[in-house]
Amino acid sequence: MFPPSQLASFQTIRLSLADAPRLHPLLEACEDYFLMITGEGAGPQEAESELASLPPGKTLDEKFFIGLQKPEGKLVGVLDVVKDYPEPGIWYLGLLLLHPAERAKGLGASLHAQLCESLREHGGQAIRLGVLEQNEKALRFWERMGYRELERKPFKAGSLPHTVRVLQRGLEPEKAKGPPLSGGPG
């Protein structure tokens, strides 16, 4: 599952808890993202916490935390998916985060396409994720990737209350496009 592969000039590899020290600089550089969620930048424990976090009832064997690295090993992006959550066949995408210098160049779309292909090959039926409703750029991105809204939920990070929009996309090629998010429920 997720063997190392090449994406543009980057390599994708599965990360483990031991990679926390080299994940930390990427999370620090993505201060904008953590500010939006918690009101603070990524703290010293954030890398370990991201690498270890699991939905209820899941194990680290079912979590695939993938790094996108430059040839010299510097991480420029990460994605985190968990198998069969919340139901068999559904992969839960907990994080897709690129270094600010690598955004808006089509890398996110390419990484997502590679993820879909890989999950489809392994029998995955759908990808589900949650986006903060104020993350408008990410919502536009997910809409373009073919996701539709399932529901909206309250969510608290630190002291900040949020609303999360839960989105899902089928992995069968013919079901790839859902209706626009703006026309969805909620």
Ligand X SMILES: CC(C)(COP(=O)(O)OP(=O)(O)OC[C@H]1O[C@@H](n2cnc3c(N)ncnc32)[C@H](O)[C@@H]1OP(=O)(O)O)[C@@H](O)C(=O)NCCC(=O)NCCS
List residues near ligand X by CB under 6 A: 33, 96-98, 103-109, 131, 135, 137-138, 140-141
The answer to whether the CB of 125 falls within 8 A of the CB of 83 is no
- Which CB, 61 or 176, lies closer to ligand X? 176
Q: What are 6's strand-pairing partners?
A: 11
**Amino acid identity, residue 58?**
K
Q: Smallest distance, Å, CB 141 to ligand X?
A: 4
User: How far, in Å, CA of 99 to CA of 76, rounded?
Assistant: 5
- Which CB, 2 or 94, lies closer to ligand X? 94
How many C-beta atoms lie closer than 10 Å to residue 33's C-beta? Answer: 19
Single out the residue of 47, 120, 126 nearest to residue 84, CA to CA. Answer: 126
Q: Smallest distance, Å, CB 163 to ligand X?
A: 13
The answer to whether the CB of 69 falls within 8 A of the CB of 10 is yes
Q: Smallest distance, Å, CB 32 to ligand X?
A: 7
Q: Closest residue to ligand X, Cβ-based?
A: 108
- Which CB, 23 or 131, lies closer to ligand X? 131
Q: Smallest distance, Å, CB 165 to ligand X?
A: 9
